[in-house]
Amino acid sequence: MRLTSSLMAVLAALSALPAMAQEGLEIVGKPTDGEMGFQPAATELARDLQWLDGMINVIIIAIVLFVTVLLAIVAVRYNRRANATSATFTHNSPVEIAWTIIPIVILVFIGAFSLPILFKQQEIPDGEVHIKVTGYQWYWGYEYTDHDFGFDSYMIGAPATGGENRMSPEVEAQLVEAGYSKDEFLLATDTSVVVPVNKVVVMQLTGADVIHSWTIPAFGVKQDAVPGRLSQLWFKAEKEGIYFGQCSELCGQSHAYMPITVKVVSEAEYEKWLEGAIEEYAGTPRSVNVASAN
Ligand SMILES: [Cu+2]
């Protein structure tokens, strides 16, 4: 009898494993306690950014070491005890030319790598999935404009889901119910952005009240959602899984409670979800879409 109950406990614990939550989808993009560095890159954009960060870090470290060595030499060789009578010259043209030219060369070198990466982010390709994102105080609204449906996305535990933006046994139960664990509090949302893997997703962003900012660190995207303007971002996620982000523009009292959940699923899973979503959110049936395209 005891064995069965402990077996049940193990099974319950296994089913609550956060790494495999949500219909077998692994949680990939998530901050981890005590860790440093970036979340695993799930797009080419994120890979480029992380590579650029590492490359510039090498340059920064080299400059810091070089300047530290120069300072140490000056402190040891030219202090009053070691060098009682100091030289009286004030200029040295070759050195001055060098310390003007070399930083320019370093900046041009960095620019030669960073500008192409910036352009890759900001030049929006033709999208295969289009989503309009609206930031509200304090939740996100998503419209799948290819199929004319939309829904709002609230943090699990936010007032709209019956919570008070605080952890409680009820909120934990809601999280578990949705396939998450209590570790995902402040990250998991009731509905999520579902996108197919390896497809170009183009998002248009705007704000309904104040400026918000939509980001998924593992995708290497972050874009302000500004009232009265429509900005764009794009990504092509290469790995199925669950990715979290948070509003990244201070937007008021509950800024911390409007996270973002993106589920990257297989093409087949996406089609299935789309059928259900079109029905649930009263979107345009796909046959009508096909007809109007002709
Ligand atoms: Cu916000």
3-state secondary structure labels for all residues of the chain: CHHHHHHHHHHHHHHCCHHHCCCCCCEEECCCCCCCCCCCCCCHHHHHHHHHHHHHHHHHHHHHHHHHHHHHHHHHHCCCCCCCCCCCCCCCHHHHHHHHHHHHHHHHHHHHHHHHHHHHHHCCCCCCEEEEEEEECCEEEEEECCCCEEEEECECCCHHHCCCCCCCHHHHHHHHHCCCCHHHCCCCECCCEEEECCCCEEEEEEECCCCEEEEEHHHCEEEEECECCCEEEEECCCCCEEEEEECCCCCCCCHHHCEEEEEEECHHHHHHHHHHHHHHCCCCCHHHHHHHHC
Condensed to tens digits (0 to 9), the pLDDT of residues 222-260 reads 999 999 999 999 999 999 999 999 999 999 999 999 999
* pLDDT of residue 16 exceeding 50: no
Condensed to tens digits (0 to 9), the pLDDT of residues 193-230 reads 999 999 999 999 999 999 999 999 999 999 999 999 99
Burial 119-154 (b: 16+ CB within 10 A, else e): eebeeeeebebbbbbbbbbbbbebbbbbbebbbebb
Distance 230 CA to ligand 1 centre (A): 16
Distance 219 CA to ligand 1 centre (A): 19
Condensed to tens digits (0 to 9), the pLDDT of residues 82-105 reads 998 988 989 999 999 999 999 999
Distance 49 CA to ligand 1 centre (A): 24
pLDDT value for 289: 53
Distance 250 CA to ligand 1 centre (A): 6
Distance 252 CA to ligand 1 centre (A): 7
* pLDDT of residue 148 exceeding 60: yes
Q: Read off the pLDDT of each residue in 174-194 and give the average, rounded to a whole number.
A: 95
Condensed to tens digits (0 to 9), the pLDDT of residues 96-132 reads 999 999 999 999 999 999 999 999 999 999 999 999 9
Percent pLDDT > 90 in the chain is 84
pLDDT value for 6: 52
pLDDT value for 24: 81
**Total-model pTM:** 0.83
Distance 39 CA to ligand 1 centre (A): 21
Distance 258 CA to ligand 1 centre (A): 6
* Domains recognised in the chain with CATH numbers: 44-84+93-122 (no CATH), 129-293 (2.60.40.420)
Distance 261 CA to ligand 1 centre (A): 14
* pLDDT of residue 291 exceeding 70: no
